[in-house]
Amino acid sequence: MSSFEDRVSHCKGELRQNSDTVIYWSVLAHRIADNPALARAIELANEHGKRCLVVASLSIHGGEITKRQTKFAVQGIAEMKEALKEKSIPFFFLAVCDDGLPDAILDRAAAVITDFGYLRHHRQQREKLGQAFDGCIEALETMVCVPVVEVSDKQEYAARTIRKKLMERLDNWLTEAKMPTLEDQTGLRLDIEESPLDWKKIDGVSDDEASEIDWLEGGSEKARARLSAFLRSDLANYADDRSDANKENVSILSPYLRFGHIAPTEIVRKARSAKADADAFIEELVVRRELACNFCHYNHNYDRLDALPDWAEETLDKHESDERDPKYGTASLENAKTGDDVWNAAMMEMKQRGYLHNHLRMFWGKYIAKAMRDPKTAHKTLLTLNNRYFLDGGDPNSFANTLWVFGLHDRAFQENDVIGKVRPMGHGALERQFDVEKWVEDRQ
Ligand SMILES: Cc1cc2nc3c(=O)[nH]c(=O)nc-3n(C[C@H](O)[C@H](O)[C@H](O)COP(=O)(O)OP(=O)(O)OC[C@H]3O[C@@H](n4cnc5c(N)ncnc54)[C@H](O)[C@@H]3O)c2cc1C
């Protein structure tokens, strides 16, 4: 078995010897470096004397993707296309293809290799592919360090229950997936029209307030530059300063991870060889991030309050009819029109920037949980705003963290009104970490 095959978490069917092409259907990992699914597709093509074709499509949640996310994602896909061209590997961009690969592609396919995603639409994509195609299908875990199915066979309760399982296995999963050279580099003609790599022309891009942003550009090169800058100047102080939103001593790699522009394995390898202690950073990148993937993979209600542990559901039910003071509806929240200046500034920051520091995300989420008429409405609003405005929205992390606000992966605390035994968080918790007044002032 090759090292790439170790990451296959779903497989079906036999390679069709009469068809001429191995397809890599890139739905998540839009990169060529350290991409085991791409490497596996080339390896299979070489082994069976086939050509290789890369087909990329956007992985979208809930049928739509925002302008800022589309622009960022397509910047990475455009870079992938250029890099493949240099290696004479044909490429097709299908933009949004929730219904699966077109017949013109499947008819030529000996095998389809794809990324293994953890969300409902990824599962549906795999199922539809299995119904439409009777050749070999393999889905590889390209978005995590340790494949989710290798770490645990069940939903883990919290970071403390998954940490040891992940860390014990991590070293065995960090080897770079080097891309083999494709032997058959003859061209390939397909009778279908490729989508333009112009994000403005892509159907299904929602025309909401989440307009495009310019301060962060997508793509593997930009991801690597950001990683290098972080390792050079911020990693050494990450453990002490990462909670200080004024210093922003964090990596801002989450959008690149969301769209697969950089492999988490590459980040861990480089962080470990930097001249600073990387443990606190690896705790977030590996333990917290991969706990979120574990959650979405094993709990198919990941976008509903039903996925909460019993204690959290019970306490929220008990306090459902408590009076909310203040109380807001979706429009006041989305328009940042509450009576809380810090919260309004956080909401504006995520709308304008598409990014918010982790501690402010916690505060932002906890406020919504307390200020809306019931937990179900609050959770729905939180998730909608999260996935609409954050560049990294629509990720397993989005679903796990919006439920963390209501008690997921956490323990019970002393009982309060409205949120019951769920961990409270208000201004005091923020002020203990950094100068909140300065943070707000800097944004006025
Ligand atoms: C209410 C709420 C909503 C959130 N929504 C999202 C979201 O939509 N998408 C998203 O990727 N993250 C989300 N997070 C988690 C976290 O806030 C971001 O991943 C982090 O702030 C990204 O910034 P960074 O890349 O600079 O992080 P760094 O501090 O540099 O961390 C490195 C990487 O570790 C991972 N990481 C860091 N913090 C967490 C965490 N708490 N949980 C899981 N993984 C983490 C991320 O992949 C991050 O890129 C949310 C957190 C909260 C409390």
What's the CATH code of the domain at 63? Answer: 3.40.50.620
- Asked if residue 361 lies in contact with residue 242, where contact means CB atoms within 8 angstroms, the answer is no
Q: Is residue 225 part of a domain?
A: yes
pLDDT (tens digit per residue) in 369-380: 999 999 999 999
Closest ligand 1 atom, CA of 285?
Answer: 34
pLDDT of residue 100: 86
How far is 305 from 322, CA to CA, in rounded Å?
A: 18
The residue segments making up the domain with residue 90 are 1-143
> What's the confidence (pLDDT) of residue 387?
93
Does residue 193 lie in a domain region? no
Residue 19's pLDDT band (cuts 50, 70, 90): very high
* Residue 272 in tokens: 């470990």
* Probe target for ligand 1 pocket from 358, 362, 408, with the most ligand atoms within 8 Å of CB: 358
From 397, 398, 404, 433, give the residue whose CB has the most ligand 1 atoms within 8 Å, as the site to mutate. Answer: 397
Residue partners of 240: CB distance under 8 A and separation at least 6: none
Which CATH number belongs to the domain containing residue 333 in this structure? 1.10.579.10
Nearest CA to ligand 1 atom 10: 397
Average confidence (pLDDT) over 22-42: 97
Q: What is the atom index within ligand 1 of the atom nearest the CA of 292?
A: 43
CA distance 323 to 370: 10
Classify residue 201: in a domain, yes or no. Answer: no
Q: What percent of the chain has pLDDT over 90?
A: 87
Give yes or no: residues 148 and 101 share one domain: no
pLDDT band at 189; cut points 50, 70, 90? confident
* pLDDT bucket at 199, cuts 50 / 70 / 90: confident
What are the pLDDT digits (tens) for 118-168? 999 999 999 999 999 999 999 999 999 999 999 999 999 999 999 999 999
User: Among residues 281, 300, 319, which one ends one of the domains?
Assistant: 300
Pocket perturbation via mutation, ligand 1, pick of 254, 268, 282, 293 by most ligand atoms within 8 A of CB? 254
- Closest ligand 1 atom to the C-alpha of 238? 29
Name the closest-CA residue to atom 24, ligand 1.
252
Q: Are residues 253 and 317 in the same domain?
A: no
pLDDT band, residue 5 (cuts 50/70/90): confident
Alpha helices in 220-356 (DSSP H): 220-233, 235-241, 254-258, 264-273, 279-282, 289-298, 310-318, 330-334, 341-353
My answer on whether 291 and 318 are in the same domain is no
Last residue of a domain, one of 283, 300, 317: 300
CATH number at residue 268: 1.25.40.80
User: Same structural domain for residues 339 and 270?
Assistant: no
d(CA 288, ligand 1 centre) in Å: 8
Query: What pLDDT, in 10s, does the model give residues 209-221?
Result: 778 999 999 999 9
Query: For ligand 1, is residue 285 a contact (CB within 6 Å)?
Result: yes
pLDDT digits (tens, 9 = 90+) for 319-344: 999 999 999 999 999 999 999 999 99
What is the 397 CA–ligand 1 centroid distance (Å)? 7
Whether 188 maps to a domain, the answer reads: no
Report the pLDDT value the prediction gives residue 63, as an integer from 0 to 100: 59
* 91-93/51-56 β-pairing: parallel
Task: Please say whether the beta carbons of 228 and 266 come within 8 A.
Answer: no
Q: Does the pLDDT value for residue 223 go beyond 70?
A: yes
**Is 196 within a domain?**
no
Say if 202 falls within a structural domain.
no
Domain boundary among 300, 315, 348: 300
The whole-number pLDDT of residue 62 equals: 59
26 and 157 inside one domain: no
The reported pLDDT for the residue numbered 91 is 95
Same domain, 15 and 136: yes
Is 189 inside any structural domain? no
Q: Is the pLDDT of residue 188 over 90?
A: no
Q: Do residue 85 and residue 106 come from a single domain?
A: yes
The pTM for the full model equals: 0.97
Do 153 and 265 lie in one domain? The reply is yes
Q: Is 114 in the pocket of ligand 1 (CB under 6 A)?
A: no
254 shares its domain with 338: no
Supply the pLDDT for residue 207.
Answer: 66
Give the model confidence (pLDDT) of 388-434 as tens digits: 999 999 999 999 999 999 999 999 999 999 999 999 999 999 999 99
Q: Which residue has the higher pLDDT, 1 or 30?
A: 30
Total structural domains within the chain? 3
Judge if 149 and 295 occupy the same domain: yes
Whether 116 has a pLDDT exceeding 60, the answer reads yes
| Dist. CA 387–CA 117, nearest whole Å | 17
Region 351-370: mean pLDDT is 97
Least confident range of 76-80, 183-187, 259-263, 429-433: 183-187
Average pLDDT of the chain? Answer: 94
Is residue 348 situated within a structural domain? yes
Ligand 1 geometric centre to CA of 255 (Å): 9
Percent helix, strand, coil in the chain (nearest 5)?
45, 10, 45
Strand 8-12 and strand 136-140: pairing? antiparallel
CB of 405 sitting under 6 A from ligand 1: yes
Which residue puts its alpha carbon closest to atom 48 of ligand 1? Answer: 254
284 Cα: distance to centroid of ligand 1 (angstroms): 8
Co-location of 2 and 109 in the same domain: yes
Among protein residues, the one whose CA lies closest to atom 41 of ligand 1: 288
Please tell me whether residues 39 and 161 are part of one structural domain: no
Query: Which atom of ligand 1 sits closest to the CA of residue 362?
Result: 53
